[in-house]
């Protein structure tokens, strides 16, 4: 069995090309043990200002560097991440909770994101060409980008922001979530010898520097992934200087199953869509709408999967699901489960976990009304409500009756039928007969209160640029 504890070398902030100690430090908790496993350097306001100043000073030379040269450095970082993945993955597991295999997979996806953006370009485009006029659209970098990532996929979300920002010619101040800062600081160590000083800076805090960073007058853009409530605060802090924003916020994604599926085949796919990363995915399937004719059969299959799930410390190779990442989220999910238990029927999982750790077993709950917390709110944990419908029009209306609009899924043996339903869902992304297919070359983003702007793809790259038209008289 793999050791469930490990001692790590000290961590550092990256400011102006130098790995430095924080003005203070704070403890990082392993959610599987509820014990402190490392100390993280803590930046103060002076160090935040130093990081922004370093990024501002580095911007002119970095922006002037040819895009292809910037791309080569992204690939160099990807190579370094691959080479050190075996060292960083245990850090990620012990701070985030996910099984070690999932942490290694996250490192691979993050490196792949770097390579995917490195293959992109921002060429000038001629948008008008007549006998007397030519108009050329150019794209230029914005300046200093403040990038803020959540705790569910710390390294992937770091690269989702850092890669396009740097390729476009911006410089970056990156701030990870306070509960999962350490893997990002290890990546910062790899960045230090690769990029010119100040091009990328990485600081850590205890949620006390976010407003100072997002409102900083020398920050041109904020790229934030997190809760809708915090997204509103970021938007307000950016308003006085009219900063560019990309906000990828909460979701309450619906999965609509049509009446022509095979219950045994569909159940594992639905289970994965809801429970991957212990349900801590903004695009997870969080509400499952099942046709009346197949409801009992699919519920029975889901219950078997939930009861068979192996939950435990992510450092144990036998574990399929780790803990919820932090105590606040753990208590929230438990409260939502208890509310749902009182208003519906727990048909799978739901039993308490003995021992320390923020563990919640995958849980399936049937028979809930649409105003139950588990249906209305984003649970962000391993809990699945299964909801019955008789007419597809009703399922679509109920799925759309949400303040969120991030993603959704439709499942059917007939993709044409599914496509008709998918077109009616009010979300930024809809998958048909699959889930969480997030390719680096395909943009995604939210509607309604799930945010705005795009991540990934060419559109995600262009989010970090200013479009300029050069209008030429021939």
40 catalytic residue (yes or no): no
Catalytic, out of 191, 282, 378, 455? 282
Distance, CA of 175 to CA of 40 (rounded, Å): 13
Is 70 exceeded by the pLDDT of residue 136?
yes
In CATH, what number does 253-439 get? 3.40.309.10
For residues 216 and 52, the answer to whether their CB atoms sit within 8 Å is yes
Q: Where are the domains of the chain?
A: 13-249+450-473, 253-439
Tens-digit pLDDT profile for residues 345-390: 999 998 888 889 999 999 999 999 999 999 999 999 999 999 999 9
Reply yes or no on whether the pLDDT at 3 is more than 70.
no
Q: Which residues contact 119 (CB under 8 A, 6 or more apart)?
A: 71
- Per-residue confidence band for 419, with pLDDT thresholds at 50, 70 and 90: very high
Q: How far apart are CA 111 and CA 51, in angstroms?
A: 24
Mean pLDDT of 183-189: 98
- pTM, rounded to two decimals: 0.96
* pLDDT band for position 6 (cuts 50, 70, 90): low
For the question of residue 282 being annotated catalytic, the response is: yes
Q: Tell me which residue of 121, 162, 144 sits closest to 63, measured CA to CA.
A: 144
* Cα 105 from chain centroid (whole Å): 14
Position 471 pLDDT exceeds 70:
yes
CA–CA dist 96, 279 (Å, integer): 13
Q: Which residues pair with 135 in a beta bridge?
A: 128, 471
Q: What is the dihedral of CA 43, 63, 106, 115, to 10 degrees?
A: -160
Q: What is the pLDDT of residues 264-314, one digit of tens each?
A: 999 999 999 999 999 999 999 999 999 999 999 999 999 999 999 999 999
* Mean pLDDT calculated for residue range 34-45: 97
- 3-state SS of the chain? CCCCCCCCCCCCEEECCEEECCCEEEEEEECCCCEEEEEEEECCHHHHHHHHHHHHHHHHHHHHCCHHHHHHHHHHHHHHHHHHHHHHHHHHHHHHCCCHHHHHHHHHHHHHHHHHHHCCCCCCEEEEECCCEEEEEEEEECCEEEEECCCCCHHHHHHHHHHHHHHCCCEEEEECCCCCCHHHHHHHHHHCCCCCCCCEEECCCCCCCHHHHHCCCCEEEEEEECCHHHHHHHHHHHHHHCCEEEEECCCCEEEEECCCCCHHHHHHHHHHHHHHHHHCCCCCEEEEEEECCCHHHHHHHHHHHHHHCCECCCCCCCCCECCCCCHHHHHHHHHHHHHHHHHCEEEECCCCCCCCCCCCCCEEEECCCCCCHHHHCCCCCCEEEEEEECCHHHHHHHHHCCCEECEEEEECCCHHHHHHHHCCCCCCEEEECCCCCCCCCCCECCEECCEECCECHHHHHHCCEEEEEEEEEC
pLDDT at residue 5, as a whole number:
52
- CATH architecture of the domain with residue range 13-249+450-473: 3-Layer(aba) Sandwich (3.40)
**CA atoms of 460 and 453, how far apart (whole Å):** 8
Residue 362 phi, psi dihedral angles, 5° rounding: -50, 130
**Checking DSSP bridges between strand 24-30 and strand 407-411, what pairing results, if any?**
unpaired
Name the catalytic one among 95, 106, 248, 301.
Answer: 248
Which pLDDT score, from 0 to 100, does residue 397 have? Answer: 98
Q: What is the pLDDT of residue 70?
A: 98
Q: What is the pLDDT of residues 255-275, one digit of tens each?
A: 999 999 999 999 999 999 999
How far from chain centre, in Å, is Cα 331?
Answer: 21
């Amino acid at each position: 069995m793999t050791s469930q504890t490990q001692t790590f070398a000290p961590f550092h902030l990256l400011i102006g090309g130098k790995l430095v100690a924080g003005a203070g430090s704070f403890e990082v908790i392993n959610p599987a043990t509820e014990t402190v496993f490392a100390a993280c350097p803590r930046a103060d306001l002076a160090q935040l200002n130093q990081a922004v100043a370093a990024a501002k000073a580095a911007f002119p030379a970095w922006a002037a560097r040819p895009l292809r040269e910037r791309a080569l450095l992204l690939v160099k970082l990807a190579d370094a991440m691959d080479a050190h993945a075996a060292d960083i993955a245990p850090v990620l597991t012990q701070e985030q909770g996910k099984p070690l295999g999932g942490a290694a997979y996250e490192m691979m996806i993050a490196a792949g994101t770097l390579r995917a953006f490195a293959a992109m370009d921002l060429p000038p485009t001629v948008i008008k060409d007549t006998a007397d006029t030519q108009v050329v659209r150019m794209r230029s970098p914005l300046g200093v980008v403040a990038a803020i990532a959540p705790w569910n996929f710390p390294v992937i979300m770091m690269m989702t922001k850092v890669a396009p920002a740097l390729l476009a010619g911006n410089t970056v101040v990156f701030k990870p979530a306070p509960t999962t800062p350490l893997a990002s600081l290890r990546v910062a160590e790899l960045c230090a010898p690769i990029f010119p000083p100040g091009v990328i800076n990485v600081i850590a805090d205890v949620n006390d520097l976010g407003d100072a960073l997002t409102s900083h007058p020398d920050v041109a853009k904020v790229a934030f992934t997190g809760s809708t409530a915090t997204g509103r605060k970021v938007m307000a802090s950016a308003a006085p200087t009219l900063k560019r924003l990309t906000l990828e916020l909460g979701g309450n994604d619906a999965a609509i199953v049509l009446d022509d599926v095979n219950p045994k085949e569909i159940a594992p796919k639905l289970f994965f869509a809801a429970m991957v990363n212990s349900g801590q995915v903004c695009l997870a399937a969080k509400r499952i709408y099942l046709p009346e004719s197949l409801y009992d059969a699919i519920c029975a299959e889901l219950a078997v999967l939930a009861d068979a799930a192996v939950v435990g410390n992510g450092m144990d190779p036998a574990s399929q699901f780790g803990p919820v990442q932090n105590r606040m989220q753990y208590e929230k999910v438990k409260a939502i489960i208890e509310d749902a238990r009182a208003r519906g029927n727990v048909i799978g999982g739901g039993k308490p976990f003995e021992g320390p750790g923020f563990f919640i077993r995958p849980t399936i709950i049937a028979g809930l009304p649409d105003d139950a917390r588990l249906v209305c709110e984003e649970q962000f944990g391993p809990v699945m409500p299964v909801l019955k419908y008789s007419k597809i029009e009703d399922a679509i209306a109920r799925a759309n009756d949400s303040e969120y609009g991030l993603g959704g899924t439709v499942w059917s043996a007939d993709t044409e039928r599914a496509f008709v339903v998918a077109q009616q869902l009010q979300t930024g992304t809809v998958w048909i007969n699959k889930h969480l297919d997030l390719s680096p070359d395909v943009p995604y983003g939210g509607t309604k209160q799930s945010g705005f702007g795009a991540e990934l793809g060419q559109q995600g790259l262009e989010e970090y640029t200013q479009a300029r038209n050069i209008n030429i008289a021939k």
